[in-house]
Amino acid sequence: MADSNAIIVVITAPTRDEAQSISNLLIERRQAACVNIVPQVDSIFWWKGKVESEQECLLIVKTKASVLDTVIGLVKQIHSYDVPEVIVLPIVGGNSDYLSWIDEEIHD
């Protein structure tokens, strides 16, 4: 498999509308080739010294490492959380046609 610049960015959002807004922004700006929205995940986490529990949407963003800083900046501009979750996972393999498609769709 050829070297890939492709990554997965995982983002949570408090509502479906906000998840959709973030997804649309990333797609329209050509900073993501595809975003999947998982409509409900149960999140349990520490926040300001106590355990919290929320239902959130999970965004799975297919993009390139070369635009990561832009992706993070765009998310932080419109996200309602003080500290939005933006976590990057490397893509270590996969369908080379799909990985090439990601590369072609992102404008960096």
> Which domains are delineated in the chain?
6-105 (3.30.70.120)
Mean per-residue pLDDT over the chain, rounded: 95
Cα separation of 20 and 2, whole Å? 32
Cα separation of 100 and 78, whole Å? 29
| Share of residues in the chain with pLDDT > 90 (%) | 94
Angle between helices 68-78 and 16-28 (to 10 degrees): 140
Segment 52-65, tens digit of pLDDT:
999 999 999 999 99
> pTM score, two decimals?
0.94
